[in-house]
C-alpha cells in the first residue's frame, strides 16, 4: 500500500476544509453624517476605490420640541448622488423623545418620519429607496415604545417591500433579555463609542479592544438576525478642565498636538494646554485627550469581530465619509480591514 507523506496528508486536509468554506459576501459602505451633502474629490476617490455601492446618509435627527417631536438639523443636498450609488436614509432618534408617549402619538410620529424622509431625499436625485435605517440608543424603559415605533414604520403603506434596519449598541447586544430584539429586517452593530467618554484618564472611548471583547463573542454569533458591522475611522479631542469633562473640541486636529509650545504631552494620549486658546474655547491648564484608532488597531478589532459573524452577507460601514477623517487611513488600510470579513 502506497504511503502518503505526512505533510501531503496535512495539505489535503487543509485543502478539503478550504473547499468546504463558503465565502461570505462582504460590501464596503460609508456613513455620511454631515448636514450638507456635496461632492468632494477625496471622499469620492475613497468611495470609488473601495467599490462602495451604498451610502448611509443621516437625513435628520428627531428631538423634543415645544409641540412634541420635531426634525432637527435635516441634511441639505447641494448635489445629487451618482446613479450607481444606493441611498440608505438614516434617522437618528433621541431616546428621550420616546418617553411618556402614547401609542397614538408614536403612530403619528412614525407617519411623520416616513413622510419627511420621502420628501427630504428628492433633492438627492432619488424618488425612493430600498432600506430605511433608524438609529436610537434605546433603553429598557423606552424599549416598548421604540419597538412600537419600528412596527408602525414597517407597516406604513409607502414602505411596502422596503427593508427596515436599526443600529445596535454594544450594551444592547450584550443585554438582549432586557434590551430586546428590535422588530426589523437586520441590525447594524456600532463597534465604537464604548467606555466612558466623560471619565478622566488616557483610555480611548472610540474603541478599545478589551472593552469590545466584553460585549461581542457569543452575544454576536447567537444574535437572531443578520448583523452588519459599523467601524470607526473618526477621531476627536475630549477636553477636561480640572479633571472634569468639559466637552469635545471639534476644531482641534492631530497635527495641532505637534506644537509643544502649546500642548505638553502627558503620556498616553493626554496633553496639557500651555496657554489660553480663546478661539477654541480652551484655557491654560486644560487637558485634552486625543482619541483615534491606528490602522493596526482597526484591523485587530475586525479580526476579532469577524469570528462571530454568522451572516452570509454583511455590510462593513465606516463612520464616516469625511475628508479630514479619511486622511488618517490609506485605501489599502480600509480594504485590508474589510477583507478580514470575507
Mind listing the pLDDT tens digit for each residue in 89-115? Answer: 999 999 999 998 999 999 999 999 999
In this structure, the answer to whether residues 70 and 187 fall within a common structural domain is yes
Average pLDDT, integer, range 113-120: 96
In this structure, the answer to whether residues 326 and 191 fall within a common structural domain is yes
Average pLDDT, integer, range 19-47: 89
Q: How many domains is the chain partitioned into structurally?
A: 2
In this structure, the answer to whether residues 122 and 106 fall within a common structural domain is yes
Residue 342: is it exposed, middle or buried by C-beta count within 10 angstroms (0-12/13-18/19+)? exposed
Share of the chain above pLDDT 90, in %: 85
In this structure, the answer to whether residues 230 and 320 fall within a common structural domain is yes
Share of the chain above pLDDT 70, in %: 94
Higher pLDDT: 287 or 17? It is: 287
How much is the pLDDT for 194?
85
C-alpha pair distances (Å), 283 with each of 174, 276, 290? 40, 4, 17
How much is the pLDDT for 7?
43
Residue 1 has pLDDT above 90, yes or no: no
Average pLDDT, integer, range 150-175: 94
pTM higher than 0.85: yes
Question: How does residue 195 score in pLDDT terms, banded at 50, 70 and 90?
Answer: confident
Domain membership of residue 3 (yes or no) is no
Domain membership of residue 10 (yes or no) is no
Domain membership of residue 17 (yes or no) is no
Question: How does residue 13 score in pLDDT terms, banded at 50, 70 and 90?
Answer: very low
- CATH number of the CATH domain containing 320: 3.20.20.80
In this structure, the answer to whether residues 270 and 226 fall within a common structural domain is no
Number of H helices, E strands in the chain: 11, 16
Average pLDDT, the chain: 92
Residue 210 has pLDDT above 50, yes or no: yes
Domain membership of residue 9 (yes or no) is no
Residue 2 has pLDDT above 50, yes or no: no
Average pLDDT, integer, range 137-163: 94
In this structure, the answer to whether residues 95 and 201 fall within a common structural domain is yes
**What is the pairing mode between strands 76-77 and 54-65?**
unpaired
How much is the pLDDT for 11?
45
Cβ–Cβ < 8 Å for 87, 30: no
In this structure, the answer to whether residues 129 and 211 fall within a common structural domain is yes
Question: How does residue 198 score in pLDDT terms, banded at 50, 70 and 90?
Answer: very high
Q: Which domain holds residue 250?
A: 236-291
In this structure, the answer to whether residues 212 and 287 fall within a common structural domain is no
Amino acid at each position: 500500500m502506497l504511503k502518503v507523506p505526512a505533510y501531503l496528508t496535512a495539505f489535503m486536509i487543509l485543502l478539503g476544509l478550504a473547499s468546504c468554506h463558503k465565502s461570505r459576501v462582504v460590501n464596503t459602505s460609508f456613513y455620511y453624517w454631515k448636514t450638507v451633502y456635496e461632492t468632494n474629490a477625496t471622499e469620492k476617490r475613497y468611495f470609488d476605490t473601495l467599490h462602495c455601492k451604498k451610502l448611509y446618509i443621516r437625513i435628520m435627527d428627531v428631538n423634543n420640541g415645544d409641540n412634541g417631536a420635531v426634525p432637527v438639523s435635516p441634511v441639505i443636498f447641494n448635489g445629487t448622488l451618482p446613479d450607481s450609488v444606493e441611498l440608505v436614509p438614516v434617522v437618528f432618534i433621541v431616546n428621550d423623545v420616546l418617553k411618556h408617549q402614547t401609542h397614538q402619538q408614536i403612530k403619528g410620529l412614525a407617519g411623520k418620519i416616513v413622510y419627511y424622509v420621502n420628501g427630504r431625499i428628492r433633492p438627492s436625485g432619488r424618488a425612493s429607496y430600498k432600506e430605511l435605517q433608524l438609529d436610537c440608543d434605546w433603553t429598557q424603559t423606552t424599549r416598548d415604545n421604540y419597538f412600537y415605533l419600528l412596527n408602525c414604520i414597517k407597516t406604513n403603506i409607502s414602505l411596502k417591500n422596503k427593508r427596515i434596519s436599526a443600529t445596535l449598541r454594544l450594551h444592547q447586544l450584550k443585554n438582549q433579555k432586557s434590551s430586546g430584539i428590535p422588530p426589523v429586517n437586520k441590525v447594524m452593530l456600532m463597534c465604537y463609542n464604548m467606555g466612558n467618554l466623560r471619565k478622566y484618564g488616557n483610555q480611548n472611548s472610540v474603541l478599545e479592544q478589551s472593552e469590545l471583547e466584553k460585549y461581542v463573542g457569543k452575544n454576536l454569533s447567537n444574535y437572531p438576525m443578520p448583523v452588519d458591522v459599523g467601524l470607526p475611522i473618526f477621531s476627536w479631542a475630549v477636553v477636561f478642565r480640572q479633571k472634569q469633562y468639559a466637552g469635545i473640541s471639534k476644531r482641534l486636529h492631530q497635527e495641532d498636538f505637534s506644537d509643544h509650545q502649546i500642548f505638553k504631552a502627558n503620556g498616553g494620549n493626554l496633553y496639557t494646554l500651555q496657554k489660553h486658546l480663546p478661539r477654541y474655547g480652551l484655557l491654560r491648564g486644560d487637558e485634552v485627550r486625543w482619541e483615534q484608532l491606528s490602522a493596526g488597531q482597526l484591523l485587530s478589532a475586525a479580526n476579532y469581530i469577524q469570528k462571530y459573524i454568522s451572516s452570509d452577507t454583511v455590510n462593513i460601514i465606516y463612520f464616516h465619509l469625511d475628508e479630514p477623517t479619511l486622511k488618517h487611513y490609506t485605501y489599502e488600510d480600509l480594504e485590508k480591514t474589510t477583507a478580514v470579513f470575507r
